[in-house]
Amino acid sequence: MQKNNFVGFAALLVVLAGAVLYAAFRPAPAKAPDAAALPLPAGDFAEHAPYYDITANYATSTPLRGNANAAAIALMQNFVADTITQFKTDGNFSNLTPQDIKMMGFDQGREEKLNIVYLVFSSPRTISYVFTTYLDTLGAHGNLFFHTFTFNTATGAPVALADLFLPGSDYLGTLSTLARAKLPAVIGPDATDARMLNAGTVPEDKSFSAFFIDNGTLGILFDPYAVAPYAAGPQTLQLPLSELSSILKPEYR
C-alpha cells in the first residue's frame, strides 16, 4: 500500500473510531426521498445548524477520460448528497418538539454529527475512492461506515467485486476462507469473536462490498460490528493479489 495513503487511512480510522458520545437512543430511521439533486459546492460541503453539524469532502476530478470522468464524479457526489439528505430526514430537525429537544440534549448544546471524508488508492488498471462516513445521532456512540468506488482506468467503467474475477470462479468462497483465516490476526486474539467473524464473512457479495485496490493488494474494509465487537473498531483485510491470481481476470493480476 502506498505509504502516504496507508498512514492517512490509519490515522483517519483512529480519529473517527475513537469518537464516542453517550446519550439516549434514537428511533428507527425513516427512508429518505431521492436526494440526487442536492446541490454540492466544489470539493467540500459544510452546514452548521443549531442541532446538527455536517462536513463532507468528495472528488471533483478523476484521471478517467471524457464522459467517464463526469460519470464517476456524479456517481460519488450523488452518494454524498444522498447520505446528507438521509441524515437530515432521519434527524427530522425541522419538526422537533420541545420534548424532543430536551430529551436529546439539544437545549444543552449537543449536536448530531455527520462527517464524510475520502481517500484515493490506485493500481495500474484501477483507481479506488474510499469514503468513510462518521455518524453520531447521540445514541450510545457514534459509528463508522465505509463505501467504496473502483473504476477501470482503461475503460472508465465502474468495477464491481465480481468484475475482478474469472466467470464461474468461487471468488466469494475464496474471500470468505481467507478472511476467516487472516482476520483474527488483524483483530487481535482478545477481541476476536468467532460468531461475529463468521457472520460477517459469509460468502456473499455484501460481506466484501467495501473494497479497493492499491497496487498489488486487494483491500477489504469492515465496519465496526461487522466482524468484531465495536471496541475493536473497523477492520482492514489486505490480500496480496498474488494469492488470488488463479481466479483473477488477467488484467487485474
Confidence of residue 10 (pLDDT cuts 50, 70, 90): low
**pLDDT > 60? residue 180:** yes
For the ranges 13-17, 163-167, 234-238, 246-250, the lowest mean pLDDT is seen at 13-17
Residue of 26 and 92 predicted with greater confidence: 92
Q: Hey, which residues does 54 pair with through a beta bridge?
A: 47, 114
Q: Are 60 and 73 in contact (CB under 8 A)?
A: yes
Cell of 124: 495500474
pTM > 0.75: yes or no: yes
Contact 133, 83 (CB under 8 A): yes
* Structure confidence at residue 42 (pLDDT): 73
What structural domains and CATH numbers belong to the chain?
3-252 (3.30.565.40)
- pLDDT 10s digits, 200-240: 999 999 999 999 999 899 999 999 999 999 989 999 999 99
Radius of gyration (C-alpha) of the chain in whole angstroms = 19
Our separate counts of H helices and E strands in the chain read: 5, 8
Distance CA 131, CA 229 (A): 22
Average pLDDT, the chain: 87
Residue 26 reports pLDDT greater than 80: no
